[in-house]
Amino acid sequence: MLFHWLAIRNSIPVKEVLFRRNILPSSQSNLCIWCLEDTETVNHLLLHCKWSFNVWAELFSWWNLNWVMPGSIEEFSFKWFFGMGIKASKFWKVIGPATIWAIWLARNDLFSMGSSLVVRF
């Protein structure tokens, strides 16, 4: 849950944050490591990138749910915990943050293999 809180606060070290803090050199690309189409922001990486969106779509299909992905991780979190229109069990409330964490770990695994690797859909 700590990671989820950091994501809501836009404090996880995605490329956009690292550039803003002058940690990454300006010569390095700020594009998403998966799609190479948009800046790697918290919202893009965890919710809107084609790769992560497919993860969410698969998760929702397991429970036969239709859901429009919110624009931000903060809005996502609020709707996940309070506005899904279903009685959310304790188990369900863990699935969202666990999926966010799994997406982050997959991104880090890809990053550690070399940012030249790109997964295309």
Closest C-alpha among 95, 106, 109 to residue 51: 106
Closest C-alpha among 9, 100, 105 to residue 17: 9
Taking the chain (121 residues) in consecutive chunks of 10 residues, what is each chunk's mean pLDDT?
Answer: 89 92 89 94 97 94 86 91 66 86 92 56 32
Q: What is the pLDDT of residue 79?
A: 85
SS (H, E, C) 70-95: CCCHHHHHHHHHHCCCCCCCHHHHHH
Q: What is the pLDDT of residue 14?
A: 94
Q: What is the pLDDT of residue 115?
A: 52
- Give the separation between CA 69 and CA 100, rounded to whole angstroms: 13
Other CB atoms within 10 Å distance of the CB of residue 35:
20
Q: What is the pLDDT of residue 46?
A: 97
Q: What is the pLDDT of residue 94?
A: 84
Q: What is the pLDDT of residue 107?
A: 92
Mean pLDDT across the chain, nearest whole number?
85
